[in-house]
Amino acid sequence: MTGTGFLPATPEELKERGIGQPDFVYVIGDAYVDHPSFGPAIIGRVLESRGYTVAILSQPDWKDPQSIQVYGEPRLAFLVSSGNMDSMVNHYSVSKKRRRTDAYTPGGVMGKRPDRADMVYSSLIRSVYRHTPIILGGIEASLRRLAHYDYWSDSFKRSLLLDSGADLISYGMGERSIVEIADALASGIAIRDLTFVEGTVYKASHREDIYDAVFLPDYESMKADKRLYAESFAIQQKNADPIRGKRLAEAYSSHTFIVQNPPAKPLSQEEMDAVYALPFQRAVHPACLRAGEVPAFSEIKFSLTSCRGCFGACSFCALTFHQGRIIQARSQESLVEEARRMSEDPDFKGYIHDVGGPTADFRRPACEKQGKHGACPDRQCLFPKPCPNLRADHAEYISLLRKLRSLPGIKKVFIRSGIRFDYVLADPEGDVFLQELCEHHVSGQLKVAPEHVSDRVLSHMGKPSRSVYEAFCRKYKKMNERLRKKQYLVPYLMSSHPGSTLKEAVELAEYCRDLGYMPEQVQDFYPTPSTLSTCMYYTGLDPRDMSPVYVPKNPHEKAMQRALIQYRDPKNRELVLEALEKSGRTDLIGVGPKCLVRPGGTHPAPGRPERTGKKKKTIRNIHKKKR
């Protein structure tokens, strides 16, 4: 490699390499970070490894057509990705307020990418290059590949492929499909004829040209009848598996169809290792660094991605729809080698921040059947109870962690991407892993995600029952007592998920009271495209059985549900009082130990010290008195 060692990201770097016309121009909404935790870096390096030239165009000015022309027209296609994160989630909170910072932009500056980045970048390209192929990829395109509910406009939208003017969507992780697409285009096949690549979505003009497909309800019918969309989503969920999945088709008119090919096959361990062994610079491109550090990179710079996919079945998570349910894992040798290289970085302080993926302790497929037959279309691996065929086993993960801990220069290996406590309990040798976890991989607090305590809400979330979480809590406490460690569980909690009424919100508040815990942050349910929970939010139906689901949509009710979890905060007092009165739980208003808030006046919640006019005894004031 010549120059900086990065993929060319400026016209000067392209010229230094002697490339007159790149095969692909990759337009991305993030800063260019050449690290395998960033999707565009992986796709660019995979193409490079196959002999294709890729020029990175990071955060172009979408208001200026000249910004898209800095490399000229690519030989094969424009690749477009909003980046590692959906641009709308990146820009807006769940209350639809504009965020102040963008973690994927140098200096954290907001506004360097447009809303709905895939659509805007594609339109910009098409305004200049009328016939050059445009291929969308990444999380934003992947989750909008078919008709979907859009929370930010509160509307039912068409496939992004139609609204963007692009030619093809590569959904999922993309390494297989992008190479097949590149080889086909290089051989002279027109983009309109690329109808056979797994893991892609394409447009068709004639129904008779779509073969061996399951036809979903048409767009206009779904738009008029939410129940039809719920039925369609259930079909999509059952066909999201690369082995069992069927081709799906969606009609928009008699001459407009969107066709989703089955997902691409998972990478083997050898293929995963090969991807992560590509010559990533593991750094932000110098041209981006001029504007400041990229906050998201500092979070993952010293972390290891050990696996992909998740069979956890959380209804609100989009990763299953994006990465699939079949676990793909790197070898221990690959991860140990990456950790060794990491330890040689001048900025490395001896701490590996994470060894994981969507779920850290998933290092193998859920059962033997998945490798040959795929994931079951009508059964989940862990929900509502672990499947009898589930192989819950942490032995290989323990072995990996021990090898990483023993490397020279490694002081501590953390696990921050989360473990599934129900999977730990399902492992007959789970106590061995729990001991390793508590003894070596927790620093005072372990974050876990029960999300709620109401079994009714948990059922809609696809999470295990409250009793399972409480069983894990007891085991965790007992293990730390045995190890003589003072370490605590910090639960992630979610308010206003479909199925949660004020009654369930009060139940969660009572749990926090009994635990003596008031979370500083609470995640209000965020309806992002193509999740089971978002389908519930939009339709009021659970697609799994078409049963009605209560959905809290009123902003004031959502504020009350959120306030109940943080009932001790004086700012939430009036909302908590109102919520308790509306839910018929005025027994929780008073001065008793079980009460959440006191009546009348401005008194704080029980158990919270009252503020007085006296000056607080701070260290600073004590020192002043001594002087």
Q: What is the mean pLDDT of residues 532-538?
A: 98
Task: Kindly report the number of other CB atoms within 10 A of residue 351's CB atom.
Answer: 12
**Measured on CA atoms in the order 304, 308, 314, 318, is the torsion positive or negative?**
positive
Task: Kindly report the number of other CB atoms within 10 A of residue 350's CB atom.
Answer: 13
* Same domain for 418 and 322: yes
- How is residue 136 written in tokens? 């969308």
Query: Who's near 181: CB < 8 A, 6+ residues apart?
Result: 77, 135, 168, 170, 194, 197, 200
* Same domain for 127 and 41: yes
pLDDT in tens, 393-440: 999 999 999 999 999 999 999 999 889 999 999 999 999 999 999 999
Kindly state whether residue 610 falls inside one of the protein's structural domains.
Answer: yes
pTM: 0.92
Kindly state whether residue 403 falls inside one of the protein's structural domains.
Answer: yes
Q: CATH number, domain at 187?
A: 3.40.50.2300
Domain boundary among 407, 428, 443: 443
* Same domain for 347 and 382: yes
pLDDT for residue 605: 52
* Same domain for 177 and 56: yes
Domain boundary among 397, 419, 443: 443
Kindly state whether residue 259 falls inside one of the protein's structural domains.
Answer: no
* Same domain for 461 and 404: no
Report the C-alpha gap between 219 and 155 in whole angstroms. 13
Kindly state whether residue 549 falls inside one of the protein's structural domains.
Answer: yes
Quickly state the pLDDT bin for 601 (edges 50, 70, 90). Answer: low
The parent domain of residue 430 ranges over 302-443
* Same domain for 482 and 395: no
Q: What is the mean pLDDT of residues 318-330?
A: 90
Kindly state whether residue 574 falls inside one of the protein's structural domains.
Answer: yes
pLDDT in tens, 240-273: 999 999 999 999 999 999 999 999 999 999 999 9
Report the C-alpha gap between 26 and 289 in whole angstroms. 19
pLDDT for residue 624: 36
Composition of the chain by helix, strand, coil, percent to 5: 40, 15, 45
* Same domain for 408 and 488: no
Domain count, the chain: 3
Kindly state whether residue 148 falls inside one of the protein's structural domains.
Answer: yes
* Same domain for 595 and 496: yes
| SS3 call for 530 | coil
* Same domain for 510 and 439: no
pLDDT in tens, 487-526: 999 999 999 999 999 999 999 999 999 998 888 878 999 9
* Same domain for 587 and 466: yes
Contact 451, 496 (CB under 8 A): no
Q: CATH number, domain at 580?
A: 3.30.750.200
Residue 620 pLDDT > 60, yes or no? no
* Same domain for 480 and 543: yes
Kindly state whether residue 260 falls inside one of the protein's structural domains.
Answer: no
* Same domain for 472 and 397: no
Kindly state whether residue 252 falls inside one of the protein's structural domains.
Answer: no
Q: CATH number, domain at 384?
A: 3.30.750.210
Domain boundary among 167, 197, 227: 197
* SS3 annotation, 597-609: ECCCCCCCCCCCC
| Range in 40-49, 186-195, 605-614 the model is least confident about | 605-614
pLDDT for residue 434: 97
- How is residue 186 written in tokens? 């290089």
